[in-house]
Amino acid sequence: MDKFLRPRGLNALDEEIARLVNLLKSTEPTEDNYAKIADNLKVLCDAREKKNDRVISTEMLVGVAANIVGLLIVLNFEKTGVITSKAFSMLWKSK
């Protein structure tokens, strides 16, 4: 489920971070490239930690599922097909 909800850019970022870590393992700490690779790795890790607003949160999924279940329960309870109760007005009220 985690891979399904993650954007493709985040997966590509993780692959690039893994590539840089492997490159850093094979590089001697005294080389000039070591500092450049470490800086790039730090920038990529900082970018990965930033929150993406396009990712669906689990709280939102739970809220939607609860509303759908509540809606189905009310519709099952209303046998005549006519909505006569005030149950629908209580379903979508969030606090």
Alpha carbons 71 and 89: distance in angstroms, whole number: 11
Same domain, yes or no: 10 and 31: yes
Q: If you average pLDDT over every residue of the chain, what do you get?
A: 76
CA–CA dist 76, 42 (Å, integer): 55
Dump pLDDT digits (tens) for 34-66. Answer: 889 889 889 988 888 776 666 677 788 888 898
Q: 3-state DSSP helix/strand/coil percent for the chain, to nearest 5?
A: 70, 0, 30
21-33 per-position pLDDT tens digit: 898 888 888 888 8
| Containing structural domain, residue 68 | 58-91
* Number of independent structural domains in the chain: 2
* Dist CA 43 CA 37 (whole Å): 10
Same domain, 71 and 36: no
Same domain, 32 and 63: no
Percent of the chain with pLDDT over 70: 66
Q: What radius of gyration do the chain's Cα atoms show?
A: 24
Q: Are residues 65 and 42 in the same domain?
A: no
In single-letter form, the type of residue at position 46 comes to D
Confidence (pTM): 0.48
| One domain for residues 69 and 38 | no
